[in-house]
């Protein structure tokens, strides 16, 4: 049944989280731990072996100990149906390969399997450790690739910026409306991760600050371009990220030069058509704040036309750790295992 969603007659899928000491892996472990239809089999890390996860992340209340990811551990765990891998780019692929070798389906939080074009990957990230696995991978933006995710062996969980941006822009891309595009994104400090440089995440630097970073060279650019192309808009994208002083939250503000004039009524129709049946995309009628989606798997989108410039502005707001990363991984696991897509996420 490799190409369709799996249903479990008895028992819940048992899931391993590898790389649970980082922000993304820890939240994924928390969400699986409290999930009514999944079992968290083990959590592993590359440091802090032997600590309870709840000592590192008291708010998550996961009592399991961090273990080292080794074959004997895996042997001892019995049947595992899936793993979430929360390793850095390039470190993830070999581990994904090892887990695939044991027959597990994998949701990989890194960028290693997001770009279908190997050359594109290598120009942004360097040599790919396991290009042989690329054909097994499906890009895990659930709303765009739900059917293929259902049967995927490897789900490349999207970057947070591509998630917010593509959800905000897909209805315009599908309508052939995007002639030129600027995306200005803002994110809280959790997006930099637990081990980011002191100047980035220390409250004494980050508070009362706004900082653009990776000017003209953010690695999420090719990912956004790949996905917009699949929706009908092939163009170089101007993408710029900024760090703002909050913990979790992300806003993608998208400025679209359109191929023809569009008004708000047409926008409303396009967005309703795209998202009316989506459980986690909320099309709203005023600019959303990221607090509205904090700690949830929702992405709020809002689009408006500007009669002065003729452009369309579209916003995507989400929690970078949730829909932007870890809860989308659980959404994907739900799809992969034939569970209700909202299970454990409302």
* Catalytic positions: 160
Could you tell me whether strands 238-243 and 211-213 are parallel, antiparallel, or unpaired per DSSP bridges? antiparallel
Instruction: Tell me the number of residues near a copy of itself by CB under 8 A.
Output: 69
Burial-class residue 54 by CB neighbours within 10 Å (0-12, 13-18, 19+).
middle
233 close to 173: Cβ distance less than 8 angstroms: yes
Question: Shortest Cβ distance from residue 292 to a copy of itself (Å)?
Answer: 4
137, 115, 134: which is closest to 124 by C-alpha? 115
Confirm or reject binding of residue 278 to a copy of itself (CB under 8 A): no
Out of 22, 188, 316, 324, the only residue in the binding site for a copy of itself (CB under 8 A) is 188
Q: How far apart are CA 319 and CA 323, in angstroms?
A: 6
Confirm or reject binding of residue 182 to a copy of itself (CB under 8 A): yes
Which of 36-44, 150-158, 195-203, 335-343 is the region at the interface with a copy of itself (rule: CB under 8 A)?
A: 195-203
- When the beta carbons of 93 and 290 are compared against a copy of itself, the nearer one is 290
Confirm or reject binding of residue 251 to a copy of itself (CB under 8 A): yes
Provide CB contacts within 8 A for 288, sequence distance 6+: 282, 300, 301, 302, 315, 317
Other Cβ atoms within 10 Å of 50 Cβ, number: 9
The secondary element (H helix, E strand) that includes residue 105 is strand 105-108
**Phi/psi at 143 (5° precision):** -65, -20
Confirm or reject binding of residue 142 to a copy of itself (CB under 8 A): no
- When the beta carbons of 57 and 337 are compared against a copy of itself, the nearer one is 57
Confirm or reject binding of residue 98 to a copy of itself (CB under 8 A): no
Which of 75-83, 87-95, 164-172, 243-251 is the region at the interface with a copy of itself (rule: CB under 8 A)?
A: 243-251
194 close to 21: Cβ distance less than 8 angstroms: yes
- When the beta carbons of 101 and 308 are compared against a copy of itself, the nearer one is 308
Residues engaged in binding a copy of itself (CB under 8 A): 23, 34, 58-59, 180, 182, 184, 186, 188-190, 194-195, 198, 201-213, 215-216, 221, 236-238, 240, 242, 244-251, 253, 255, 257, 284, 287-295, 302, 304-311, 313, 315, 317, 346
């Amino acid at each position: 049944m490799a190409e369709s969603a799996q249903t479990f007659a008895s028992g819940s899928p048992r899931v391993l989280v590898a790389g649970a000491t980082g922000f993304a892996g820890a939240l994924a472990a928390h969400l699986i731990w409290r999930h009514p239809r999944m079992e968290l089999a083990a959590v592993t890390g590359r440091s802090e072996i032997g600590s309870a996860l709840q000592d590192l992340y008291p708010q998550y209340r996961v009592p399991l100990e961090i273990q080292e990811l080794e074959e004997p551990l895996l042997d001892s765990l019995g049947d595992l149906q899936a793993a979430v891998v929360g390793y850095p780019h390039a470190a993830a692929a070999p581990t994904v390969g090892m887990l695939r070798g044991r027959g597990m389906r994998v949701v990989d939080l890194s960028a290693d399997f997001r770009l279908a074009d190997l050359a594109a990957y290598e120009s942004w990230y360097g040599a790919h450790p396991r290009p042989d696995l690329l054909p097994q991978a499906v890009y895990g933006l659930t709303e765009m690739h739900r059917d293929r995710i259902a049967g995927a062996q490897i789900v490349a969980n999207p970057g947070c910026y591509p998630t917010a941006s593509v959800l905000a822009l897909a209805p315009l891309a599908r309508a052939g409306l995007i002639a030129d595009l600027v995306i200005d994104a803002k994110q809280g400090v959790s997006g930099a991760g637990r081990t980011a440089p002191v100047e980035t995440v220390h409250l004494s630097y980050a508070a009362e600050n706004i900082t653009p970073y990776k000017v003209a060279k953010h690695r999420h650019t090719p990912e956004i371009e790949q996905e917009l192309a699949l929706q009908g808009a092939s163009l170089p994208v101007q993408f710029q990220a900024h760090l703002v002083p909050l913990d979790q939250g992300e806003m993608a503000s998208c400025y679209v030069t359109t191929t023809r004039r569009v008004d708000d009524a047409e926008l409303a129709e396009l967005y309703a058509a795209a998202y009316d049946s989506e459980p986690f995309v909320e099309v709203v009628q005023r600019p959303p704040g990221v607090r509205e989606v904090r700690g949830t798997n929702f992405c709020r989108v809002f689009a408006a036309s500007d009669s002065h410039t003729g452009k369309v502005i579209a916003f995507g707001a989400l929690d970078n750790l949730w829909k932007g990363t870890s809860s989308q991984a659980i959404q994907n696991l739900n799809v992969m295992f034939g569970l209700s897509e909202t299970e454990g996420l409302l």
